[in-house]
Amino acid sequence: MVSVLRRVVAGFALALSLFTSGSAQDALDRASAVVVGGGQPFGLYFPAAGAVCYLYSRSSASGRCLVDTFADSGEALQALADGRVDFAVVQSDWQQHAVKGTSRFRADGPDEGLRAVFSLHGEAVTLVARRTAGIKTIADLRGKQVDLGPDETYRSLFMDMILAAEGMERDDLAGSSGLSLAAGLAKLCEGTLDAVSVVAAHPNGVLAEALARCDLEIVPLTGPAIDKLLRAGRGLSAITIPADLYRGQGREIRTFGLRATLVTRDTQPEDVVARIASSTMEGLSWLRGRHPAFTPLDPKTMAVSGLSAPLHDGAAGVYREKGLR
């Protein structure tokens, strides 16, 4: 656990060291550097942007790179469209919204200039159940007490999607609640709940603590209902939680969810995009050591999964050379 914490702190420190503020000097620096937009400090999207920046910078003496921070993926995508950043790390569903002109992008319409570069870590929809509850599939949730998470959160929205795809609704459960993750897992350990939904990059510290002290298991989310969701074009992709990531989890768990993705504009020079793509792919051994969530990163998955915008030509050329597409 100490080594994991050190890796997390190292990732945050890396991103903070590359962070740019709003001073006049910074404005001059930005004009001569590649700027990558990430999420809020101490979230995972910020160090992800920092890691991409670091790998790009070390690939060439002239490859200067800075990181900027945004409240969410929608704000980062707007900054990219406005030209305030050159690249942005955003959730795959928001990439899809921008491509289709839906949600907050409805007024602007489809963004035809958005281009994908690669995906990074997954944020898996995860169903955790008491081993004694007999929940092995989605259908087994019928008649069970399930915490879906607070309304309008990803936890709640994804569980409603899963139930609908399975031909079920909340009324088919014995009961549902909208607790925080920590509160839901506490009640799961107490035995007053049968299952709890989680949406997270793995490993997740709160979940790890619950699995270590309670007789719980992660339920695979696979089958026709999930395949239906993956085909629906919501920026979702299959995700595998590696074996032995948590206590008592001796096999890999197949599920699905969102991915962090790197995007840019069609006007971004091919050589810059190619260097970003190649430096990240060639630096994966280093990247996997920055944060536990980056450990499963695989080039073939990164070149395909979660990418709804057309692939930038600079990235496409790199992937063809490496046999990834």
Fold (topology level) of 123-258: D-Maltodextrin-Binding Protein; domain 2 (3.40.190)
> Is there a contact between 101 and 159 (Cβ–Cβ < 8 Å)?
no
Evaluated on CA atoms 90, 93, 96, 98, the torsion sign reads: negative
Round to whole Å and give the CA distance between 108 and 57. Answer: 34
Residues (pLDDT < 50) of the chain are 1-12, 16-25, 27-28
Alpha-carbon Rg for the chain in angstroms: 20
Q: What is the pLDDT of residues 165-182, one digit of tens each?
A: 999 999 999 999 999 999
CATH superfamily of 2-121+259-321: Periplasmic binding protein-like II (3.40.190.10)
Residues sharing a CB contact under 8 Å with residue 149, sequence separation 6 or more, in sequence order: 155, 156, 159, 178, 179, 181, 184, 197, 199
Task: Tell me, yes or no, if the two domains 2-121+259-321 and 123-258 fold the same way.
Answer: yes
Domain assignments of the chain as residue spans, ordered by start? 2-121+259-321, 123-258
pLDDT at 12: 46
Tokens (6 digits) for 178: 């909208």
Alpha helices in 105-240 (DSSP H): 154-165, 181-190, 205-213, 224-231
Round to whole Å and give the CA distance between 260 and 281. Answer: 15
Q: What is the pLDDT of residues 184-200, one digit of tens each?
A: 999 999 999 999 999 99
